[in-house]
């Protein structure tokens, strides 16, 4: 993209775009730690064309959160990270600029909710600067045991499935078709307790999800395709996000 992300300073944290290989490796190191990988760095091909954003503690410089952003048009979707796991043919007809959010992680020793707020504020700045119309990605549940997340999946089925015109189709060999299989009424308290923080943020802004979860044994996660049309975000939520920028 032609515009660099302006460093965002809020409270105890600063969010800024990676400035070189050392910053990218710091993000890859945090990702490896958060994802429980055996290697020191989480290196993959999708990093090369992306904008990497790092959130650090202002007093110590400790990296507490990172994520990457990849801008795409509908015809570019086959080269997205999500396209490895989901058939996104329906979304290839989308007219506006899309932004894939990937490898979002927060340091396991840091649980301050302001970290995610600052991360979303940085994303909001990027979205506004480049007139992005849709944000999407893969939102992950830790582990591949579906039993512990049944209320969360039942809630997704009941309230948050993608519009039929954009619904991703099955592509991965191992999936949990929760929308077709689950018949339970969700316990909303249990559902929200088990909902990943990133996915919870998407849903609070009007995001939607695929009707199945991919069982990713390589990353030891269950994940759902998640989309958020910027125009559908409630005005009150947009004001809160932009107030941080």
CA separation for the pair 11, 7 (Å, rounded): 13
Residue 90 domain flag = yes
In the prediction, which pLDDT does 214 show? 98
By the 10 Å C-beta count (0-12 exposed, 13-18 middle, 19+ buried), 3 is classed as exposed
Residue 34 domain flag = yes
In the prediction, which pLDDT does 159 show? 97
In this prediction, residue 239 has a pLDDT band, given cuts at 50, 70 and 90, of confident
**146 pLDDT exceeds 80?**
yes
What's the mean pLDDT in 197-213?
94
Written as six digits, the tokens of 111 are 């649980």
Q: Give the model confidence (pLDDT) of 77-90 as tens digits.
A: 999 999 999 999 99
Residue 2 domain flag = no
Residue 33 domain flag = yes
**238 pLDDT exceeds 90?**
no
**157 pLDDT exceeds 80?**
yes
Q: Give the model confidence (pLDDT) of 87-129 as tens digits.
A: 999 999 999 999 999 999 999 999 999 999 999 999 988 998 9
Query: What is the maximum span of the chain, computed from C-alpha positions, in angstroms?
Result: 49
Residue 1 domain flag = no
**235 pLDDT exceeds 90?**
no
In this prediction, residue 3 has a pLDDT band, given cuts at 50, 70 and 90, of low
DSSP 8-state class, residue 72: E
CA nearest 151: which of 110, 119, 193? 193
Tally of domains in the chain: 1
CA–chain centroid gap for 123, Å, is 11
CA nearest 156: which of 129, 130, 186, 133? 186
- Please give the mean pLDDT across all residues of the chain: 93
Residue 3 domain flag = no
Q: Domain limits at 206?
A: 8-244
Written as six digits, the tokens of 152 are 């969360």
In the prediction, which pLDDT does 5 show? 81
In the prediction, which pLDDT does 244 show? 58
Beta-strand relationship, 8-10 and 13-17: antiparallel
CA nearest 208: which of 139, 118, 144? 139
In the prediction, which pLDDT does 243 show? 60
- Report the SS3 class of residue 135: strand
**182 pLDDT exceeds 80?**
yes
What's the mean pLDDT in 16-20?
95
In the prediction, which pLDDT does 241 show? 65
| This prediction's pTM | 0.93
In this prediction, residue 234 has a pLDDT band, given cuts at 50, 70 and 90, of confident
Cβ 160 vs Cβ 186: under 8 Å: no
**141 pLDDT exceeds 90?**
yes
Who wins on pLDDT, 155 or 111?
155
Q: Give the model confidence (pLDDT) of 24-76 as tens digits.
A: 999 999 999 999 989 999 999 999 989 999 999 999 999 999 999 999 999 99
Give the domain CATH number at 223.
3.40.630.30
Cβ 235 vs Cβ 243: under 8 Å: no
């Amino acid at each position: 993209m032609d515009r660099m992300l302006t460093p965002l300073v809020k409270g105890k944290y600063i969010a800024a775009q990676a400035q070189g290989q050392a910053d990218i490796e710091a993000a890859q190191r945090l990702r490896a730690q958060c994802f429980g990988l055996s290697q020191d760095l989480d290196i993959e091909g999708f990093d090369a064309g992306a904008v990497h954003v790092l959130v650090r503690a202002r007093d110590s410089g400790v990296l507490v959160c990172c994520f990457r952003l990849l801008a795409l048009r509908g015809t570019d979707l086959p080269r997205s990270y999500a396209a490895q796991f989901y058939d996104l043919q329906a979304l290839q007809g989308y007219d506006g600029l899309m932004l894939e959010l990937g490898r979002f992680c927060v340091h396991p020793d840091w649980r301050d909710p302001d970290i995610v707020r600052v991360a979303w504020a940085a994303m909001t700045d990027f979205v506004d600067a480049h007139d992005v119309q849709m944000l999407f990605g893969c939102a992950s549940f830790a582990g591949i045991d579906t039993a512990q997340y049944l209320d969360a999946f039942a809630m997704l089925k009941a309230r948050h499935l993608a519009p039929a015109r954009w619904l991703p189709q099955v592509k991965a060999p191992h999936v949990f078709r929760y929308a077709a299989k689950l018949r339970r009424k969700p316990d909303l308290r249990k559902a929200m307790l088990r909902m990943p923080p990133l996915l919870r943020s998407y849903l609070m802004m009007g995001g939607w999800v695929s009707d199945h979860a991919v069982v990713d044994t390589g990353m030891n996660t269950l994940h759902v395709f998640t989309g958020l049309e910027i125009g559908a975000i409630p005005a009150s939520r947009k004001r809160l996000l932009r107030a941080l920028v």
